[in-house]
Structure 1
Amino acid sequence: MTTYLPPEVQAGLDDARKRALKKSQRLSVQAGEETFRVLEAWDDGFALELAVADHLRGMVDLYDGPTLLSQCLIVASEEDGDQMRFEYKRMTEATGEQPVDFEKPENAPVALIGKG
């Protein structure tokens, strides 16, 4: 049995694999005005398409669809075929609360009830 594929067939299979990866991932990375689709993600990094994101580094925002997940400081770690792998140097989870500069007591009231 032979494992040789003509170059056109191999290129078609590679393109189909890339399209399937892009569709299966909802994650995206935004750097300034540019947005990039995440091909793969793991605990300490992610991969983007090499052709569009080989220059990316610094602070980026990580989104799941329209929802901001975290703000990350990233560095390019290695090329893996047609993907560029990035690692997190710092990752700050996004929360729905504004930061405060004081400690909130655990039993603090949630709201005040006015006199009727």
Structure 2
Amino acid sequence: MRSLLTYILLIAVLLPSISPWGTIAYYQLNQDYIARVLCENRDKPQLHCDGKCYLAKRLKAQQDKQDKETTERVQQTAPVQLFCDTHFSFKCTPTLVLPHRQVFAYLIASYKAPVTGLLRPPCA
């Protein structure tokens, strides 16, 4: 049962990168039918299109659909804000704010600048 679930999840993750190959395989298997019926240039045999126009359209439509879905997914994703509240001191508390979730904060050890040796002229 666990291995079946593993394979299903693996296919689900790899499917977007494999899907153009499925379109190409469909074209290869049905090339004669596509060239006779679906090709835009079927009445111009001197172009030797053989359905490549149909394949190009399908691949372009598939890429556009994937780009649109990606854009929508990015736009719907809530922004993650990282900020540092200093209050004019050297103590810095970066806070991760996620909408509708708990706020996580952690304290970085306070910074102390070295007093000596900072403003010396270079050795000759």
TM-score category of the 2 structures, normalised to the smaller one: under 0.3
TM-score, normalised to structure 1, is 0.25
Q: Greater strand percent: which structure?
A: 1
Which protein is bigger by CA-based radius of gyration? 2
Greater relative contact order: 1 or 2 (C-alpha under 8 angstroms, separation 6 or more)? 1
TM-score, normalised to structure 2, is 0.24
